A and B are shown apart, each in its own frame.
Chain A
Amino acid sequence: MGNRLTAPAWAVREYGKWRKRRRAWLAAFICTVAAVLICAPLLMIPGGSLMDNAEMKRMLSPILGEGKGFAVWHLIPLYPTISHFYRLLIESPAFYRLFWNTVGMTAAILLGQLAVGLPSAWAFAAFRFRGRNFLFGLYVVLMLLPFQVMLLPQYIVLQKLGLYNHPAAVILPAVFSTFPVFIMYRGFTRIDTEILEAARLDGAGEWQIYFYIGLPLGKMGIQAAMVLSFLEYWNLVEQPMAFLEEQAKWPLSLYLPQITIGQAGFAFAVAVMVLIPALFVFALGQDALEEGIAYIGVKT
C-alpha cells in the first residue's frame, strides 16, 4: 500500500498535526460544554443574591402555590439591590465570626488529615502486614457508614472526653476520618516494593523512605484528597449541628436560614459569600499544594 502514497512527507506530517490539533480542540470543546452545563444552574446564584424580595416573590409565586402558570427566573435582576449583602455584611456581625470559624475548622481538619492520614495511607501501601486487607476493608466500611448511625455513639464518646460543644468535637473525628486515607492510599500504590527493599538495604530509615520516596509519588493523591476534603468540610452541616451547642461556635454553613422562598435572596447572598472565599482558598490552596509537593520532590 505504501507505494501508492504519493503525498510528500511534510504533508503527512502536517496532516498528522492537524488531526491532533483538531482532536485537542474537540476535547476542549466537549469539556467546556460539560463545564458550562454543570455551572449553568449556579448562574442563578449571583442574580438571586441581588434580587429584592418582591421581585423574587413575583417570579416564584407559582412554586409557592400562589399562582397559576410557571415560575420564571431573571438571570439579571430587574431591580437590583444590595440589601441582602447589606444585611449579611453590615447588619449581622455574626457572619464574620462564623466565617472565621469555618476557616479555622477547615484548616485544622485539613492539616490534621495530612498529619494523620498520610502516614496511615503510606502504611497501607508500603507494608504488607497481617490483616492489612481486612483492616483496609474496615477503613472503607467506616468511611461509608452514614453519619446518622455514628451520631449517637460519637456523641457519647465526645461527652466522655469532655469535648462536646468544643470545636475539637467536630475537628477530631474529621481528622481521623478514613476518607483521606483511602484516597491517598491510591496514590501510593504505584510504588515498587523492590525500590523500597533496595532503599532499606541501603540503610534508609522508614521515615526517610516515607519522605523521600513516598511523598513525591503520592502527590496527586494528596492533592485530590485535600481538594475533596476541603469541599466537604467547608460546607459541613450535620456534625457541627449535633456536636456544637453554642451558635457562636458554628461554621458558616449553619448560618443559612431555613429554606423559605421568602428568604431566597438572602440565602443566595450567603451562598455567594460562601462561594467566593471557597474559590479563593481553593485556587490559592491548589497552587500552594502543588508547589509544596514539588518542593518535596526536588529535595529527593
Chain B
Amino acid sequence: MFLLPGFSGVMIFYLLPFFEVARRSFYQSGNGVFTGTDNYRAVFENGAFLLAVRNTLLYMAAGVPLLMGISLFLSLLLRNLVLRRKLVSAMLLPMAVPAAVMVLTLQILIDRQGVINGVLTHVSEKITALPDFSAIDYLNTEWALVVVVCSFLWKNTGYMVILWLAGLAALPKEVEEAAQVDGANRWQSWRYIIRPGLSGSFFTIGMLSVLQIFKSYREVWMVAGSYPQAHIYFLQHLLQNWYLKLEFDRMAALTVILSLVLLVVCLSLQKRTD
C-alpha cells in the first residue's frame, strides 16, 4: 500500500522502459529484424568493450574504496564538532557547481600548460635540490586515470560525508558512551560498536559511490572528449559512442548484461549485510 504509488511510477518511467531496452537487445536496430543473441555476442567479442570494462573496474577499484575511506574518516572526525554543518556544506560545494564550470576549472588547472604544472615547474626551478620537473600532460598519459579519480574524490567527498553522518547519527549514543565509561579505547569502540552499526550504511554508500562513478561520466567526457586517452575510456564512453552511431541494439544488450551483473552483486551484498 505504501509502495504502490511509488512503484506505479517506477513501473511507467523505469521498468517499462527497461523492458523495452531488453526487448530491443534481441533485435537489430534500424530495421527491427530479430537477431536472437547476436547483439550479446557482438558485445562480448568487442575489443572496445573489454577495454572499457577493464578501465571501469579499475576506476571503481580505485575510486570507491578511497572515497568511502576518506569520507568515513572525515565524518568520524566531524560528527561531534560544533562547526559540523558549515564544514559539511563547504565540502558539498563542488557538487553545486555546474558541470561545465567544473570542467573549465579542471582544464585550467591540469592542462599540460596549466596552472598546476606551472606551479610545479616554478617550484622545481627555485629549489635546485629537486630534480628537474618536466611538465606532465595529465590527460594524454597514464596520469589521466589519476586525474579522473582525484576529481571524483574532490567532487563526491562531501556527498558521502552527508550519508555517513546520517548513518552515524542513527547509532545509539548511549552504547558508545557506556563503552567509553567502561574504558574502551577509540579503536575498540570503532571495532565493536561503530563498524557493526554502520554495516547497512556500507552497503548504501558503496552502491551510491558506484552510482557517482557512473554519473561522473559527463565531466570526463567534457574534459577529454568521446575518445579519450586509453586509460579513461569507460563503459559510458562506449555506450555514448554506440548511441551516436545508432547501435542501440548493442547498447541494449550491454545494458541488460550490466543490470544483471549489478543485480547479482547487489542481492548478494544485501544478503550479507542483512
Contact = CB atoms under 8 A, between A and B. Distances in A.
Is chain B in direct contact with chain A in the complex (CB below 8 A)?
yes
Interface of A: 24, 27-28, 30-32, 34-36, 38-39, 41-42, 44-45, 60, 62-63, 67-73, 115-117, 119-120, 122-124, 126-127, 133-134, 136-146, 148-154, 156-157, 161, 172-173, 175-176, 178-179, 181-183, 186-187, 189-190, 206, 210, 220-221, 223-224, 227-228, 231, 234-235, 237-238, 253, 256, 258-259, 261, 264, 267-268, 270-271, 274-275, 278-279, 282-283, 286
Interface in B95-118: 95-101, 103-109, 111, 113-115, 117-118
A124 B167 CA distance: 18
A182 B204 CA distance: 8
A63 B105 CA distance: 12
B91 interface: yes
A232 B238 CA distance: 24
A273 B158 CA distance: 21
A268 B134 CA distance: 30
B251 interface: yes
A70 B114 contact: yes
Given A116-B5, A123-B2, A267-B104, A38 B90 contact: yes
B2 A120 contact: yes
A28 B20 contact: no
Contact of B211 (A116, A143, A282): A143
B145 interface: no
Contact of B2 (A45, A60, A119, A220): A119
Interface in B167-181: 167, 169-170
Nearest to A257: B100
Contacts, number: 279
B222 to A, nearest CB: 7
B35 interface: no
* Chain A facing B: main interface SS: helix
Contacts of A223: 166
Interface string B218-248: 1000100000000000001001100100001
Nearest to B155: A38
Interface of B: 1-3, 5-7, 9-10, 12-18, 20-21, 74, 77-78, 80-81, 83, 85, 87, 89-101, 103-109, 111, 113-115, 117-118, 121, 135, 154, 157-159, 162-163, 165-167, 169-170, 200-201, 204, 207-208, 210-211, 214, 217-218, 222, 236, 239-240, 243, 248, 251-252, 254-255, 258-259, 262-263, 266-267, 270-271, 274
Contacts of A141: 259, 262-263, 266
A123 B89 contact: no
Given A140-B262, A175-B9, A181-B6, 13 more contacts: A27-B77, A45-B105, A63-B113, A69-B118, A133-B271, A137-B270, A141-B263, A156-B17, A183-B208, A186-B204, A253-B99, A264-B104, A271-B97
